Amino acid sequence: MTPFLEKAHDHLLTGLEAAKRRGVAGAKLSFGRHESLDCEYESGRLKTAGAHENAGFSLEVLVDGRLGTASGNRFEDLDRLLEDAIALAAVGRQAHFDAWPAPGSATAVATHSEQAAALSRDDLLAPCAEIVDALKAFDSELRVDAWTSRSESESLLVTSGGVLHSAQKTNWSLGGHAQRTQGTDILMTGHGRGWGEVNEHFSAKPIIDCVLEDLRRAERLVEPPSGLVPAFLPPESLSMFLWPLSLGINGRNVAKGDSPLAGRLGERLLAPCFTITDRPHADFAPGAASMDGDGIPTREQVLVREGVLQRFLYDLDSAGLAGAEPTGNSGCRPYHPVLRPGSRHSDQLLAGIKDGIVIRDLIGFGQSNILNGDFSANVGLGFRVQNGEVVGRIKDCMVAGNLYELLSLDDVELSSDLDYQNATPHAVLPAVAVSSRPR
């Protein structure tokens, strides 16, 4: 353990013993410390290059079937906060479990990189400046923003069930954004990435290439198609279209009756090309974890197999609410969902579209009825494809439909190449409804 965790270890164990003496049915105490170095360019100029650090602890007690919580950042206040948590339990939310579980066998996963933790301010500023210089060299009138950061965190969890778990984690992020304004027309595009260790992906070049490709494709404005047309989705757009699935398999939504997927385990939900596996033990993935927030070991789980729904995700409390077994998923969310790739490269998928669109970004997507899969959104950044070639940018148009229906069609196809961070392929949806404003 680090010196911070060693100090926290002693205090948390003392607090746990104090909770037991006060007769609570169970208790969970956790400590976390986070420090980061962040750099940002705004409108082509350096805006910030600063360090941030915070630390604190929280405690949760189970008293007469209800939960009380309190938090602070001074261990000297632990006894007082324990009394506060016990008092708050009298009016706290109902717990759907009787005790925090005993320790289980957890799989080790690499989440901390010394090289990432050692990234200096100069290391972070250099790719930001490279992004700004390259985009400004393409068009000096662009508004260009760029950002990068590296962070290091550590945590400790102790429970009345006997769990004692510590973890350390690093992460870096890097991104760029460009805005071109011509009269009343505003075009915005950007790209970002991140990971837990420093590797070949810590580079400005892929970000520059992505933004420049969008800018070049957008130099010509063309009429959008209308009606039901094929839509090519880059990985970030496909991840957005899969958002309803994450909400639908959330065990709390299932238990409360809010999920449209309740009672549908074993049913075909998506196209046969979709096999989705949650892999929390992928080394250095941003969501990698060996244990959830209640001390339950994480595990690899197939969520969808060849389009058929396999599993809902539960934390300790939602599992009790649903009468199910907890799956070790904090917040009932997947940690690192990975899609099985298809057989053809994304370039081949794009080349096979006779007349369709590329969706890079949507405006208002989150305001739709996402839980049920219904959406209607403006195309923020999109392009028209004709005979396998991107011919120009489209605007003043909308796409709409039900995401479950769109993703369940037999001729949906996924690419063989994956985005390294989200492990997500490109996709072609065969029939997306497009409407546009007459010119």
Query: How high does pLDDT run on average in the chain?
Result: 96
Residue 234 has pLDDT above 70, yes or no: yes
> Bridge-partner residues for 418, per DSSP?
425
Task: Report the percentage of the chain scoring pLDDT > 90.
Answer: 95
- Identify whether the C-beta of residue 9 lies closer than 8 Å to the C-beta of residue 30: no
Domains of the chain: 3-212 (3.30.2290.10), 218-238+342-436 (no CATH), 243-339 (no CATH)
The tens digit of pLDDT for each residue in 29-87 reads: 999 999 999 999 999 999 999 999 999 999 999 999 999 999 999 999 999 999 999 99
Residue 1 has pLDDT above 80, yes or no: no
Residue 439: which pLDDT band, with cuts at 50, 70 and 90?
A: low
The tens digit of pLDDT for each residue in 245-268 reads: 999 999 999 999 999 999 999 999
Residues 6 or more apart in contact with residue 405 via CB below 8 angstroms: 373
- Kindly state the helix (H) or strand (E) to which residue 208 belongs, with its residue range: helix 205-217
Tally helices (H) and strands (E) across the chain.
11, 17
The dihedral formed by the CA atoms of 393, 399, 402 and 404, expressed in degrees to the nearest 10? 0
**Among 133-147, 374-388, 410-424, which stretch is predicted with the lowest mean pLDDT?**
410-424
Residue 438 has pLDDT above 70, yes or no: no
- Distance set, CA 180 to CA 56, 146, 389 (Å): 43, 15, 23
Residue 329 has pLDDT above 90, yes or no: yes
